[in-house]
Copies of this chain bind each other. A is one copy, B any other.
Amino acid sequence: MKKLFIPALFLLSSLPALADEGQWQPHQLLQLKAELKKVGITIPAEKLADLSKHPMSAIVSTGGCSASFVSPEGLIVTNHHCAYDAIQRNSSAKKNYIVDGFLAKTRAEELPAGASTRVYITDKVDNVSKELGLGLSAAMTGRERREQIQSNIKKIIAECEQDKAYRCSVPSFHRGLEYYRIRQMMIRDVRLVYAPADMIGNYGGDIDNFEWPRHTGDFSFLRAYVGKDGRPAEPSPDNVPYQSKDFLVVSAEGLKNGDPILLAGYPGRTSRYKLPAEIRFARDTDYPLRAAEMLADIATIAAATQAKPEDEVRYASVVKGINNRLKKTQGLIAGFARKDIAAIKDQTDAQFRLWLAGKDAQKAPDLLKQLDTVIAQDMALSQEEFAFSVASNSDLLSSARTLYRLAIEKEKPNAERESGYQERDVGFIKARLSRLEQSFVSAVDQARLTAGLARYAKLTVHPAALDVLLPNPATVAAMFGKTQLHNTAQRLAWMEQNRAAFTQTDDAFIQLAVQLHEVGMSLENRRKEIDGNLDFIIPQYMEAMIAWKKSQGKPVYPDANSTLRVTFGNVGAYAPRDGVTKGPFTTVEGIVEKHTGNEPFIAPAPLLQAIKEKRYGVFKDKVLATVPVDFLSSADTTGGNSGSAVMNKRGELVGLNFDSTYESITKDWYFDTAITRAIHVDIRYMLWVMKEVDHADNVLKELTIKYPK
């Protein structure tokens, strides 16, 4: 009979704030030296803030996911789900790399990842705020302001992209208070090096998505290739591996509970500074509508692909995407129900308004009134935009609308074209229009459009003038007989046509796109007017907000906007409810526990065998006495952080971020320190799978691994 030595297990519920809020711009870390030290990070803030220095110089984006260099030869590690497109496009019934995994034993065996997989290396970030936002005249209309900002941005980008090796962008920070020009080297030749089998990389599938306990080995390896001159080049067999300036050393020592972690990547979007009214709109109107829409769309696809396994496979990743957004939306709804975030924000908002009134009794009421008015307009318009999207739920229609818009924009000089339709964008449009063939079936698209039109009819808010332009659901079937857009070559050929060709064709979907164009433009112009007004009001609001926080000694990080950010925290468990503790680690034994032999819980036999034989070797954790699989930390992450490097206090790679717990979903709106946890795959599990299951010896050899003493 043994005594229990778990002395402080039940501490959790009573501890104050554990998790670590903040998706910091690297340069902000200079203000956070004390916090970094407290958490236990030993890399100097000065080094972390410098994008040209290790480790930030090793952190890259794949345009939607985060990743990092792990060898001087351009080897990149990211999530399995981030490399999924690359794995899928190389798979066939005969060689199914999704099911079997893929390993290139030599460079020559590495497979092209496809046009949609690119690697972006951020190399320069410059503050360009004074040319934008608050720098503009207050007298403009919203739309004038918006167009002026867009025009200025396009100019800055065009100048920045004169060197064709780079992709530039000018995102706004603090909702328009600041703008930074981001210059990224864009590598277009990316190849698949190694991916474990789906039953490792996606173990637990959609059932475990957003859940803990988790046992997913969500990792893959890619390699960046460049021309012989070392500069980005079109994919070519002549290209050579990119010589990465820096790369992350891998620590096979891993982490233990409570250890500090550092996480760097490209978080997509958060809404931490929204007003209470916006939260209530999302909670009571927007999210419920969107959740219902996604549920209905999934049901339509399921019905249309039933008993047609090939069609089902074509829509698998579409459904996966919708399911992922649906679960997130449902999690938001559940989270809002669990905790009254709007009420919490009410308090902060009231305190802020009080402070502001005290600071500037003259200007404050007017600013706040304007703010509330524009926010109300913004929410009202978004309902119309949503309705439009429900009514046009068809990939053919979307393609047709993109093509027609491109033809119109091409009539203007490049610099004046709408952003997204400039010469620099044409390659992306082409890639998107091409890729459609992988996930399109006419009958399914027809079912989705028909069902969407029926749902649109039931919505209470409709955009003006749209109803009469929409096809009668009864005529939709006939339209699919009168189009060639489902043919990829024909679809791409329209990229070269002029406006007249569109207005004169008898292609039913091109006709519909032409027909809907004016309503679409009207929505877009109203959006510009409102956004332009927001561009004027919100920066003033955020400026005051930052001053208020500064008066309390608190630095302010901007909402996520797909730019490089750093967050830090600790490995840690959490209490989803009184009397229950989750995490911080799962172990390989949990894989066996979940294995049912039915999708998505089919672990590969060699993996089960290795666990049965306890072939843990150097990857065995001393405390757990087995190999850890996934772990939780208090890092502040969101969508886009998938694949982010999780580093120890010395900046060595110890895991990859890939998800958050269900209870954390509302963190996009409010960071609840007690329950917010990000989910990471442990580097020891990755290395163990590579060694014991997949025998990826060449990849292991290429990594620089620090083994425990």
| Partner of A6 from B257, B580, B624 at Cβ < 8 Å | B257
* Closest residue of B by beta carbon distance from A40: B3
Contact across chains for B578 and A593 when beta carbons are under 8 A apart: yes
Min CB–CB distance A416 → chain B (angstroms)? 48
> Is B10 touching A8 in the complex (CB atoms < 8 A)?
no
Do A20 and B38 touch across chains, with their CB atoms under 8 A apart?
no
B14 touches A2 (CB 8 A): no
Query: Is A102 part of the binding interface, using a Cβ–Cβ cutoff of 8 Å?
Result: no
Tell me, in angstroms, the Cα distance from A634 to B215 when the chains sit together: 28
CA distance A630 to B40 in the complex (A): 36
Q: Kindly list chain B residues whose C-beta atoms are within 8 Å of the C-beta of A213.
A: 577-580
A569 within 8 A of B: yes
CA distance A381 to B66 in the complex (A): 67
Are B579's CB and A10's CB within 8 A? no
Looking across the interface, which residue of chain B has its beta carbon closest to that of A568? B1
Chain A contacts with B in 557-602, Cβ cutoff 8 A: 569-573, 577-587, 589-590, 593-594
Q: Are B589 and A13 in contact (CB under 8 A)?
A: yes
Q: Which of A3, A39, A577, A625 has the most CB of B within 10 A?
A: A3
Interface membership of A465, Cβ < 8 A: no
A3 to B17, CA, bound (A): 10
Tell me, yes or no, whether A9 is within 8 Å of chain B by CB: yes
- Contacting residues, chain B, for A570 (C-beta < 8 A): 3-4
Whether A578 lies near B587 (C-beta < 8 A) is yes
Residues of B within 8 A of A44 (CB): none
At the interface, yes or no: A413 with Cβ under 8 Å from chain B?
Answer: no
Query: CB-CB < 8 A to A582: which residues of B?
Result: 579-581
Contacts of A16 in B (CB 8 A): 2
**Are B569 and A623 touching (Cβ within 8 A)?**
no
Residues of B within 8 A of A577 (CB): 213, 590, 593
Docked pose: A566 CA to B253 CA in angstroms: 46
* Residues on B with beta carbons closer than 8 Å to the beta carbon of A572: 4, 6
Min Cβ gap A571→B in Å is 7
Q: Are A586 and B579 in contact (CB under 8 A)?
A: yes
Tell whether, in the assembled complex, residue B13 and residue A571 are in contact, meaning their CB atoms are under 8 Å apart. no
> Which listed residue, B10, B39, B256, B624, touches A584 by the CB 8 Å rule?
B10
In the assembled complex, the Cα of A468 lies from the Cα of B325 at a distance in Å of 63
A12 within 8 A of B: yes
A212 at the B interface (CB under 8 A): yes
| Cα A569 to Cα B587 with chains together (Å) | 27
In the bound complex, what is the Cα–Cα distance between A570 and B3 (angstroms)? Answer: 7
Q: Would you call B6 and A20 a contact (CB within 8 A)?
A: no
When the two chains form their complex, are residues B578 and A586 in contact, meaning their CB atoms are under 8 A apart? yes
Chain B residues within an 8 Å CB radius of A11: 5-6, 623-624
Evaluate contact between B623 and A8: CB separation under 8 angstroms. Answer: yes
Number of A positions contacting B (CB below 8 A): 57
Residue of B nearest to A36 (CB): B1
Cα distance, A6 to B257, chains bound together (Å)? 7
A258 at the B interface (CB under 8 A): yes
Cβ of A15 < 8 Å from any Cβ of B?
yes
- Neighbouring B residues of A3 by C-beta, 8 Å: 38-40, 258, 260, 570
Q: Say yes or no for A370: interface residue by CB 8 A criterion.
A: no
Task: Specify which of B12, B17, B585, B589 is in contact with A10 (CB 8 Å cutoff).
Answer: B585
Known pairs A4-B570, A4-B572, A20-B1; A581 contacts B9 (CB<8 A):
yes
- Does any Cβ of B come within 8 Å of A35's Cβ? yes
Which residue of chain B has its CB nearest to the CB of A6? B8
List chain B residues, Cβ under 8 A from A593. Answer: 577-578
Q: Which residue of B lies closest to A338 (CB)?
A: B593
Residue on B nearest A32 in the bound complex, by CB: B1
Contact A39 B1 (CB under 8 A): yes
The distance in angstroms between the C-alpha atoms of A578 and B594, with both chains bound, is 9
A10, A20, A569, A570: most-surrounded residue (chain B CB, <10 A): A10
Say yes or no for A528: interface residue by CB 8 A criterion. Answer: no
Whether B1 contacts A38 by the Cβ 8 Å rule is yes
A257 with B14: CB separation less than 8 A: no
Q: Would you give the shortest CB distance from A12 to chain B, in whole angstroms?
A: 7
Are A18 and B38 touching (Cβ within 8 A)?
Answer: no
CB distance from A338 to the nearest CB of B (A): 10
A239 is an interface residue with CB less than 8 A from chain B = no
For A5, list chain B residues within 8 Å (CB): 8, 11, 258
In angstroms, Cα B581 to Cα A585, docked, is 11
A577-B593, A580-B581 are contacts. A626–B6 as well, Cβ < 8 Å? no
Considering the complex, give the chain B residue whose CB is closest to the CB of A579.
Answer: B213
Please report the C-alpha to C-alpha distance between residue A569 and residue B593 in the assembled complex, in whole angstroms: 27
- Shortest distance in angstroms between A23's beta carbon and chain B's nearest beta carbon? 14
The smallest C-beta distance from A41 to any residue of chain B, in angstroms, reads 11
Q: A258-B3, A586-B578 are in contact. Are A573 and B9 (CB under 8 A)?
A: yes
Chain B minimum-CB-distance residue to A35: B1
User: A residues near B, CB below 8 A?
Assistant: 1-18, 20, 35, 38-40, 212-215, 256-258, 260, 569-573, 577-587, 589-590, 593-594, 623-626, 630, 634
Q: List 30 A-B contacts (CB under 8 A).
A: A1-B17, A1-B35, A1-B38, A1-B39, A3-B39, A3-B40, A3-B570, A4-B15, A4-B634, A5-B11, A6-B8, A6-B572, A7-B8, A7-B256, A7-B257, A7-B258, A10-B583, A10-B585, A10-B623, A11-B624, A13-B587, A13-B624, A14-B624, A213-B577, A213-B578, A214-B579, A577-B590, A579-B582, A579-B585, A579-B590
Question: 3 tightest A-B contacts by CB?
Answer: A578-B590, A213-B579, A579-B586
Known: A10-B583, A577-B590, A578-B593. 7 other contacts (CB 8 A): A4-B15, A5-B258, A13-B587, A213-B578, A578-B590, A579-B585, A579-B586
